[in-house]
Amino acid sequence: MNISLLFPPSWHPSQPYLSIPCLSAFLEQSGVPVREQRDLNIELLDRMLTKNYGLDIHQQLIDLVRKLEKSVDGETGPGSKEHYAKAVESLDRFPHLIDEVERAKGALRGQEFFNEDRYRESLFVIDRWLDVVSSLYFPTRMTVVDNQLSYSIYSSRDIIKAIHDESQNPYLDLYRRFFLPGFTKDPPDFVGVSITATSQIIPGLTLCRLIKEQFPQVHVTVGGSIFTRLVDNLRRCDRLFEVTDDFIVFEGETALLEMINQLKGRRDFSKVPNLIWRKEGKITVNQPFYSENLSEHPAPNYKGFPLDQYLAPHTVLPVQFSRGCYYKDCAFCALTLDHQNFRQKDPVKVVDELEALSKMHDTPYFFFTDECLALSPTKRLCKELIARGLDLQWTAEFRFEKNLSRELLSSLRESGCQKIVFGLETYNARLMDFMVKGITQENVARICSDCVDIGIAVHCYVIVGFPTETEEESLETMNFIVENTKLNTSYGFSCQPCLFDLEKEAPIMSDPGSYGVQRIMRPASEDLSLGFFYEVKSGMTPDQAEKVYQYVYEKISEVVCELPFNYSMADGLLYIARHNKEQAAQLSGV
């Protein structure tokens, strides 16, 4: 059986995503060869960032301006005065950008990447180029990492409209130009599409629609964390099964292997764990949901990935030590749903995998995608890395645990850790307890200070507007970042404020009243909503929180280096590793 695994746009262009390499490696280990695994996000972006593509769209822009000159209709929307002005502006900008776009792409793939001015300029050129391309599909807006259409990604009705909209959906044309010609020559028997972010919903389901329309005999399965959080919604969402045969939710390795076996055999899909499918017109969810035994999983398989096409001068590979969160009590967090329970690999096995991947792909750079690394096994990981002298550089997420000692941080740094991502969320003591964070101000301040002293860069996520939070409490968190010059002036520091979102699977939803949440609402049309509108009994209202969030974001942005550190953890890792190497050379007098 010919198997194709696809990762659709839009996602960050600096590095591959982990889902497909994990699935591919598991299938190969199980004796099931994968014919191809493709990152269509970077493939399509690479095609768009060329002079040849620009010449193709230039005539389309000219034709669009001529058409709109004759038939402008309304002030806004497709075919409007606003659309005409946008098309004219794009045509004016075109001559400059077409001469710059390939140079910008090349700069990010070469040593100019490390020139901060050139790095920023290159990203801006690419974004402006994509803005020009987007004018053909107005009011759609594509960026390097995202896409915005006029349709709601939380409404299945809107999604179905979007994936058929020839005027606003650029991915229809992009797939027809750059994907389908090769696909149609020898279509596979099975296609798996990984949709892990909201930015992939419309591009990913557009891809499924095109495949199913042209090749109804090809079995198409969608997987990924987005639909894992929508299990209950999918039970009542028949229209999405018009474009895909089924969905695999939660973890997909064993489920995908069994799916392949059933397609080759009796086609009894009730045997496929974690599958949502239609049986005699009725949507069926196969339960209980299955969790993988990570100790039996191989290293991710990046063979066939276009590693030289990512917009970075060195390959940064995502890897995984564990799945799930060992803590799981944070009241706001729905991420724990993705993996049901906490499991981890043996530290020595992980180092074996890192060593093999480093040699195979000629890179020392790794990005642990774990929700947070547990301290005891991480100590053993560091000990093994140091003993082998592999000289790897990596980043990962940790909690502000009391036991994250200065000694352990020193061991992390010696083993190659360049940056730690922390979920701070709040620096207010009451809210720390109310969110059930399990951290203290004392430990947060001490760990941040120790990291800076030892030479590990820090990233902090911050939440504004958690129920009952007051403006003063939010500003206390902001001031911890803004006034902490030791932290915010340290090389590689980054901080991302986020506005609180009441998510459907977060622990807070099990008893919202105890958190001061009342009158939870969701628009009836948004049958795929991941969150809710709500009112609160005390603290900032959602509208007030949004205003405070804007203020906090602006103030933190004044002390944070947006590019590259707040833009991309992978890009930031490359910058920090280079900086640390240069510092070490200076200290040694080399």
Please check the confidence at residue 330 and state whether its pLDDT lies above 80. Answer: yes
Short-list 295, 297, 315, CA closest to 305: 315
What are residue 533's DSSP bridge partners?
521
Q: How far apart are the C-alpha atoms of 354 and 64, rounded to whole Å?
A: 51
Q: How far apart are the C-alpha atoms of 64 and 87, rounded to whole Å?
A: 7
Q: Which residues contact 511 (CB under 8 A, 6 or more apart)?
A: none
What is residue 135's predicted lDDT score, i.e. its pLDDT? 97
Backbone angles phi, psi at 404, to 5 degrees: -80, 80
Short-list 587, 424, 431, 446, CA closest to 495: 424
| Strand extents, DSSP E, 225-335 | 246-248, 275-279, 282-285, 316-319, 322-323
Q: How far apart are the C-alpha atoms of 180 and 289, rounded to whole Å?
A: 34
Range of lowest pLDDT (150-159, 246-255, 333-342):
333-342
Alpha helices in 235-364 (DSSP H): 253-264, 347-361
pLDDT class of 334 with cuts at 50, 70, 90: confident
Inside any domain, residue 307: no
Q: Are the beta carbons of 343 and 371 closer than 8 angstroms?
A: no
Q: Stretch 263-268: mean pLDDT, rounded? A: 95
Whether 459 and 514 map to the same domain: the answer is: yes
The DSSP secondary-structure symbol of 482 reads H
Whether 577 and 475 map to the same domain: the answer is: yes
Instruction: Report the b/e string of 343-359 with b at 16+ CB within 10 A.
Output: bbbebebbbebbbebbe
How many H-runs (helices) and E-runs (strands) does the chain carry? 21, 20
> pLDDT digits over 230-247, tens only?
999 999 999 999 999 999
What is residue 304's predicted lDDT score, i.e. its pLDDT? 86
Q: Stretch 100-121: mean pLDDT, rounded? A: 98
Whether 261 and 327 map to the same domain: the answer is: no
Whether 333 and 355 map to the same domain: the answer is: yes
Range(s) of the domain holding residue 259: 3-41+159-276
Q: Which residues contact 513 (CB under 8 A, 6 or more apart)?
A: none
Task: Give the whole-number percent of the chain exceeding pLDDT 70.
Answer: 99
Whether 541 and 433 map to the same domain: the answer is: yes
Whether 220 and 344 map to the same domain: the answer is: no
> pLDDT digits over 501-526, tens only?
999 889 999 999 999 999 899 877 89
Q: How far apart are the C-alpha atoms of 462 and 569, rounded to whole Å?
A: 16
For position 248, which CATH number holds? Answer: 3.40.50.2300
Inside any domain, residue 294: no
Inside any domain, residue 296: no
Q: Stretch 157-178: mean pLDDT, rounded? A: 98
Of 213, 246, 276, at which residue does a domain stop? 276
Whether 262 and 339 map to the same domain: the answer is: no
Q: Stretch 394-401: mean pLDDT, rounded? A: 98
Taking CB atoms within 8 Å and a gap of at least 24, the contacts of 118-121 are 119/563, 119/564, 119/571, 120/563
What is residue 590's predicted lDDT score, i.e. its pLDDT? 60
Q: Which residues contact 545 (CB under 8 A, 6 or more apart)?
A: 464, 465, 469, 474, 499, 500
Inside any domain, residue 299: no
Whether 472 and 584 map to the same domain: the answer is: yes
Whether 433 and 544 map to the same domain: the answer is: yes
Of 113, 148, 183, at which residue does a domain stop? 148
User: What angle (nearest 5°) sits at the alpha carbon of residue 76, between those of residues 71 and 80?
Assistant: 10
Short-list 279, 367, 352, CA closest to 316: 367
Whether 579 and 449 map to the same domain: the answer is: yes
pLDDT class of 99 with cuts at 50, 70, 90: very high
Please check the confidence at residue 12 and state whether its pLDDT lies above 80. Answer: yes
Taking CB atoms within 8 Å and a gap of at least 24, the contacts of 177-185 are 177/47, 178/43, 178/44, 178/47, 179/40, 179/43, 179/44, 179/207, 180/210, 180/214, 183/4, 183/211, 184/214, 184/215
Inside any domain, residue 303: no
What is residue 505's predicted lDDT score, i.e. its pLDDT? 83
Q: How far apart are the C-alpha atoms of 11 and 8, rounded to whole Å?
A: 8
Please check the confidence at residue 350 and state whether its pLDDT lies above 80. Answer: yes
pLDDT class of 207 with cuts at 50, 70, 90: very high
Inside any domain, residue 56: yes
> pLDDT digits over 30-82, tens only?
999 999 999 999 999 999 999 999 999 999 999 999 999 988 888 888 999 99
> pLDDT digits over 440-499, tens only?
999 999 999 999 999 999 999 999 999 999 999 999 999 999 999 999 999 999 999 999
Inside any domain, residue 302: no
What is residue 325's predicted lDDT score, i.e. its pLDDT? 93
List C-alpha distances in Å: 566 to 304, 389, 458, 556, 571.
30, 30, 11, 11, 10
For position 393, which CATH number holds? Answer: 3.80.30.20
Whether 525 and 509 map to the same domain: the answer is: yes
Angle, in degrees to the nearest 10, between helices 116-134 and 51-71: 40
Whether 320 and 355 map to the same domain: the answer is: yes
Distance of CA 107 to the CA centre of its chain: 24
What is residue 339's predicted lDDT score, i.e. its pLDDT? 74
Of 119, 148, 177, at which residue does a domain stop? 148
Short-list 115, 495, 479, CA closest to 313: 115
Please check the confidence at residue 589 and state whether its pLDDT lies above 80. Answer: no
What is residue 336's predicted lDDT score, i.e. its pLDDT? 64
Instruction: Tell the residue number behind the tokens 């949440």, with chain if given.
Output: 517
How many domains, the chain?
3
Inside any domain, residue 300: no
Range of lowest pLDDT (3-17, 313-327, 508-522):
508-522
Q: Stretch 311-315: mean pLDDT, rounded? A: 98
